[in-house]
Each structure stands twice: as C-alpha cells, then as structure tokens.
C-alpha cells in the first residue's frame, strides 16, 4: 500500500487539530493559573460525572416513554452504596457491586 503525500498531510493535520485542544489548556494553566471560581467548579466535576454514569446504568430510556428502572441493577447498587459509604474504599465498593450483580444474575 502506498501512501501519497496528500494522505500523509491529511493524517498530520488531523493529528495537529486533535492535539492542540488537548494540550493547550495544560500549557495555558501552567503559566496563567485558573480563577478561584473555576477551581471551585472543577472540584464538583468528578462527582457529577460519577453520578451521571451511575444513573445511566440504572435507568433504561426509550423515545416517547418514561424512564424505566432496571430492577437487578437497583438491587445490586444498594449493598454497593452501603459498603462504599461504610468503608470509604472504592475497591471494596466495586467488588461488592460485581459480586452482587453476579449473584443476582445467577439467581434470576
């Protein structure tokens, strides 16, 4: 397979276009810093992402219908949340969730 100069330039430009938005914020923050309000906002970002991922795995949506809860996933999330709050250890919470889901799928 031969690579023409047109394809090579297209690949390199695609690399540059996708690389700049990912690296530029790090360079700007290194020399300029962030305002305090932005720093406070960014502290809540991981929690909101985790909640959105969790909620999307507990609910099924269909166009034109109300969201439906997934029964097995809700049941597995209860002991997982309990272990997560009690132990404050993410590894224990993940293992609890995996084991609960496996047992529920085995039974039902």
Name the token pair of 26: 């790090």
Verify that 77 and 87 share a domain, yes or no. yes
Residues 13 and 58 in one domain: no
Task: Please state, in angstroms and rounded to a whole number, the distance separating the CA atoms of residues 18 and 95.
Answer: 36
**Co-location of 71 and 25 in the same domain:** no
25 and 41, same domain (yes or no): no
Judgement on whether residues 41 and 29 belong to the same structural domain of the protein: no
Residues 58 and 81 in one domain: yes
14 and 45 within one domain: no
Domain of residue 70: give its range.
Answer: 35-107
Q: pLDDT-derived band of residue 87, with 50, 70 and 90 as boundaries?
A: very high
Average pLDDT over residues 55-62: 93
Question: Which of 2-11, 45-54, 75-84 is most confident?
Answer: 75-84
Q: Same structural domain for residues 19 and 48?
A: no
Contact between residue 95 and residue 79 where contact means Cβ atoms under 8 Å apart:
no
pLDDT for the residue 34:
83
Give the chain's end-to-end CA distance (angstroms, integer).
52
38-54 confidence digits (pLDDT tens): 889 888 888 889 899 99
- Structural domains in the chain (count): 2
Q: Are 77 and 85 in contact (CB under 8 A)?
A: no
CA 55/CA 74 separation, integer angstroms: 10
């Amino acid at each position: 397979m031969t690579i023409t100069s047109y394809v090579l330039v297209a690949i390199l430009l695609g690399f540059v276009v996708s690389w700049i938005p990912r690296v530029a914020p790090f360079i700007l923050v290194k020399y300029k810093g962030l305002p305090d309000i932005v720093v406070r906002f960014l502290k809540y970002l991981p929690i909101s992402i985790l909640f959105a991922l969790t909620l999307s795995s507990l609910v099924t949506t269909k166009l034109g219908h109300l969201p439906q809860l997934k029964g097995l996933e809700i049941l597995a999330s209860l002991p997982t949340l309990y272990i997560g709050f009690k132990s404050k250890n993410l590894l224990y919470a993940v293992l609890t969730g995996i084991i609960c889901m496996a047992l529920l799928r085995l039974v039902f």
